[in-house]
Chains A and B, each alone.
Chain A
C-alpha cells in the first residue's frame, strides 16, 4: 500500500527555522517525484515545488523560490520542506503529494496527511 506519512504539527516563532518531512512507503521512492502543496487557513491549494528523489533535482514555483528549500534523502525514502527563517504568513497546512511518474510533469495520485505549521510570537 502506497503511503506518504508526514511529520507532526509544529508551533514556531517568527525567525525560527523548521524542517518537515514526508516519508514514502509501499513503492519505489526514487521512481516518483514528490511535490509540496501549501494551504493557508480557509484558502485554496498552492503548488510550491517538486523534487525528483532519484537525483534531488528540484523545480520551484516563483512564489516560493528562495523562501523554502525542498530536499530528499533517498536512503530513507523521505522528502523534506524547510525554512531558514519563518514568518507568521507561513502559517498553513503543508501537504506532500506523489506525482504519478518521474519522467514528466504529472499530477498527484497520493497525498500525505498534511503537516500544520503555526508561526506565532
Chain B
C-alpha cells in the first residue's frame, strides 16, 4: 500500500497568512493526487485534482503543486472560511489512501 503523510498535522494561522501544507507519498504516484477540505460536521470538498488543477468554483488563492512523491497545497492569503482540515488523497493505485489530515485553525 502507498502510505501518505502530511505536515504539519496542525497549525495555527492568521487571516491573510500564506499557508503551505505538504503531502508525501511512500512511493511515486505521478500526479495522481487530490486535495480535499473538510469543515467540522461537513462533507469533504474537492479543491485540487491532478496535483495542480483547481476545481471549478474554488477560489484562486488555493493552488497545488508537485509530482512523484512530494506535493504541496498553498493558500496564498488565508480567509476566515478556510479554517478547516485538509486531506490529500492518492489515486495512483489500490488501495486509495488519504493523508492523515492537516488542521488549520485560528491563531
Contact = CB atoms under 8 A, between A and B. Distances in A.
Interface of A: 35, 37, 44-47, 50, 59-63, 95, 97, 100, 105-109, 111-114
A112 B44 CA distance: 9
Interface in B50-107: 55, 87, 89, 91-101
Interface of B: 1, 32, 34, 36, 38, 43-46, 49, 55, 87, 89, 91-101
B43 A105 contact: no
Nearest to B46: A109
Q: Tell which of A37, A45, A108 has the most Cβ of chain B within 10 Å.
A: A45
Contacts of A44: 87, 98-101
A78 B84 CA distance: 30
A95 B87 CA distance: 15
A107 B91 contact: yes
B91 A105 contact: yes
Given A44-B101, A107-B89, A95 B43 contact: yes
B1 A106 contact: no
A47 B95 contact: yes
A59 B91 contact: no
